[in-house]
């Protein structure tokens, strides 16, 4: 049977989802009203049990896992420990012949008091914090799994779910759990929002964050400037060299997002911290970038009296469009055609948990959430009809993976082995 054709199992799950449209919207808006900014530990801690209760409706073992604190470089150039929220993990039927890893996040980019209102924009769109990225996506994931498990195919497919509290800040606390859950899976499904048109992400660049700390020597800028060693000058040399590298390697981009250091103009500054972000299209580009950053740092530290250290690196490896990704993308597009959806793919410099799942050796589609746009801004919106639409798409994908119409083993076999992290 063609992936464009619906069978009786498909029609049953779609009918179930269609009947629950009001409930999907209600749950999305209820969740969006609860602030879960990445640094709002109180909000994340309060929301985690709500997620646990909702996902306990599945035929799966559910647990909340407290992550270990992660290192961050503060404005003094010192390492501090940051405690994020808990990870929700669910496991179902690990003995089933087809294994899927599903990932998502419940943190948002909005701190308490910055963006909290929910507004009906008309034309079937709703504006609100996290409605697209990704409270709506979590609702889509849960509804699709419930609809699938209500059918007769569930024993043929097992899954592992990881819902993280720190995706918007890089998954530094949860990335090991994501990697562990993905290892051994055949296919990955992640619920970042699709574009308003329904287009989905194709290849993704890898992303790095470097905190480069330079130490100099403080001195009175008027009485004894020669005794000082200016750390900001060292940082400026480093930044200028990063700008010169901008076009050396196709597809690699550098962005100095912040510079910390200095104070009164009558003091030679003894500390500067460069916050550098880098995007790279493939593993070769990522290796080149890392080498250039370290070589430039070493060169700057040849200045008299300047020392320092580098913190960070590539936390999300590139996710290129290889043979496995091509095969899975085609299968998803053909499945969507059965729903009257025309799914296309757009390569992007953005990153998400799909990069981490790919690094574990698992082909994945990572924009299975609602259609929406203007994410990471107070104008963020969701297309309401896409809640049921996208839940239906995921439910059909699960049906087809379970009955073999989408051959998970064949697609997984196309992965190149060197991508294991």
* pLDDT per position as a tens digit, 264-296: 999 999 999 999 999 999 999 999 999 999 999
Q: Residue 198: phi, psi to the nearest 5? A: 100, -5
Assess whether pLDDT exceeds 80 at residue 122. Answer: yes
| CA distance to 29, 59, 89, 165, 345, per residue, from 117 (Å) | 10, 34, 30, 21, 32
Mean pLDDT of the chain: 95
**Does residue 311 fall inside a structural domain?**
yes
The token duo for 16 is 């179930």
- Judge whether 182 and 326 are in contact, CB under 8 Å: no
**Does residue 333 fall inside a structural domain?**
yes
Last residue of a domain, one of 251, 285, 316: 316
Domain encompassing residue 232 = 206-316
Of 86, 136, 133, residue with least CA distance to 109:
133
**Does residue 3 fall inside a structural domain?**
no
358 in the same domain as 306: no
Last residue of a domain, one of 293, 316, 339: 316
Report the first-to-last Cα separation within the chain, whole angstroms. Answer: 37
Q: Which pLDDT score, from 0 to 100, does residue 418 have?
A: 46
Q: Which pLDDT score, from 0 to 100, does residue 420 have?
A: 38
- Judge whether 235 and 306 are in contact, CB under 8 Å: no
> Which CATH number covers residue 270?
3.30.70.360
Assess whether pLDDT exceeds 90 at residue 348. Answer: yes
**Does residue 1 fall inside a structural domain?**
no
Query: What distance lies between CA 165 and its chain's CA centroid?
Result: 11
- Average pLDDT over every residue of 344-353: 94
Assess whether pLDDT exceeds 80 at residue 66. Answer: yes
195 in the same domain as 229: no
The token duo for 43 is 């909000």
29 in the same domain as 64: yes
**Does residue 2 fall inside a structural domain?**
no
Confidence band of 2 (pLDDT split at 50, 70, 90): confident
Counted domains in the chain:
2
Assess whether pLDDT exceeds 60 at residue 392. Answer: yes
Tell me which residue has tokens 């059909």: 396
The rounded percent of the chain whose pLDDT value lies above 70 is 99
Tell me which residue has tokens 């012949």: 97
Confidence band of 72 (pLDDT split at 50, 70, 90): confident
350 in the same domain as 269: no
> Which CATH number covers residue 18?
3.40.630.10
Q: Which pLDDT score, from 0 to 100, does residue 417 have?
A: 65
| pLDDT tens figures, 148-174 | 999 999 999 999 999 999 999 999 999
Q: Which pLDDT score, from 0 to 100, does residue 416 have?
A: 76
Q: What angle do CA 60, 137, 378 make, to 5 degrees?
A: 145
Tally DSSP H helices, then E strands, for the chain: 11, 21
Last residue of a domain, one of 316, 342, 360: 316
| pLDDT tens figures, 174-202 | 999 999 999 999 999 999 999 999 999 99
Confidence band of 421 (pLDDT split at 50, 70, 90): very low
Q: Which pLDDT score, from 0 to 100, does residue 292 have?
A: 97
Assess whether pLDDT exceeds 60 at residue 61. Answer: yes
**Does residue 398 fall inside a structural domain?**
yes
Range list of β-strands (E), 49-118: 61-66, 70-73, 79-82, 86-92, 98-105
337 in the same domain as 242: no
292 in the same domain as 195: no
CA distance linking residue 139 with residue 119, whole number of Å: 19
- Average pLDDT over every residue of 7-23: 94
**Does residue 395 fall inside a structural domain?**
yes
CB contact burial 312-327 (16+ within 10 A = b; e otherwise): bebbbbbbbeeebbeb
271 in the same domain as 190: no
224 in the same domain as 339: no
Using a cut of 0.85, tell me whether the model's pTM lies above it: yes
Burial class (CB in 10 A: 0-12, 13-18, 19+), 352: buried
- Average pLDDT over every residue of 56-77: 91
78 in the same domain as 142: yes
- Average pLDDT over every residue of 344-359: 95
244 in the same domain as 216: yes
72 in the same domain as 178: yes
Q: Which pLDDT score, from 0 to 100, does residue 419 have?
A: 42
**Does residue 184 fall inside a structural domain?**
yes
- Average pLDDT over every residue of 21-31: 98
155 in the same domain as 297: no
């Amino acid at each position: 049977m063609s992936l464009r054709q619906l069978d009786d199992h498909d029609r049953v799950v779609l009918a179930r989802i269609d009947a629950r449209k009001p409930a999907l919207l209600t749950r999305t808006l209820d969740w969006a009203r609860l602030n879960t900014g990445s640094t709002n530990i109180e909000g994340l801690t309060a929301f985690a049990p709500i997620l646990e209760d909702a996902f306990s409706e599945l035929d799966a073992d559910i647990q909340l896992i407290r992550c270990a604190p992660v290192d961050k470089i503060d404005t003094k150039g010192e390492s501090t420990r940051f405690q994020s929220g808990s990870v929700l993990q669910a496991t179902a039927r690990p003995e089933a012949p087809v294994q899927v890893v599903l990932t998502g996040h419940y943190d948002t980019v909005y701190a308490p008091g910055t963006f909290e209102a929910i507004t009906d924009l008309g034309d079937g769109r709703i504006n609100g914090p996290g409605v697209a990225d990704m409270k709506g996506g979590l609702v889509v994931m849960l509804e699709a799994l419930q609809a699938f498990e209500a059918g007769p195919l569930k024993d043929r497919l097992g899954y592992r779910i990881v819902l993280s509290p720190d995706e918007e800040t890089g998954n530094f606390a949860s990335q090991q759990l994501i990697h562990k859950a993905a290892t051994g899976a055949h296919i990955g499904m992640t619920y970042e929002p699709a574009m308003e048109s329904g287009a989905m992400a194709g290849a993704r660049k890898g992303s790095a964050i470097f905190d480069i700390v330079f130490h100099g020597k403080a001195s009175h800028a008027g009485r004894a400037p020669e005794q000082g060693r200016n750390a900001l000058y060292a940082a400026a040399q480093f930044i200028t060299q990063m700008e010169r590298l901008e076009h050396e390697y196709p597809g690699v981009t550098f962005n100095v997002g912040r510079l910390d250091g200095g104070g009164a103009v009558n003091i030679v500054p003894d500390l500067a911290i460069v916050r550098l972000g880098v995007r790279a299209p493939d593993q070769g580009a990522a290796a080149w970038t890392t080498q250039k950053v370290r070589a430039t740092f070493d060169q700057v530290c040849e200045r008299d009296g300047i020392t320092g250290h580098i913190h960070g690196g590539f936390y999300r490896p590139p996710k290129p469009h290889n043979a496995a990704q091509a095969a899975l993308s085609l299968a998803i597009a053909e499945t969507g055609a059965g729903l009257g959806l025309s799914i296309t793919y757009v390569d992007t410099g953005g990153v998400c948990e799909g990069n981490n799942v790919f690094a574990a050796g698992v082909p994945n589609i990572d924009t299975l959430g609602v259609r929406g746009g203007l994410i990471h801004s107070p104008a963020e919106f969701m297309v309401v009809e896409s809640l049921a639409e996208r839940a239906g798409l995921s439910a059909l994908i699960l049906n087809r993976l379970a009955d073999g119409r989408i051959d998970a083993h064949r697609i997984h076999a196309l992965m190149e082995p060197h991508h294991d992290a």
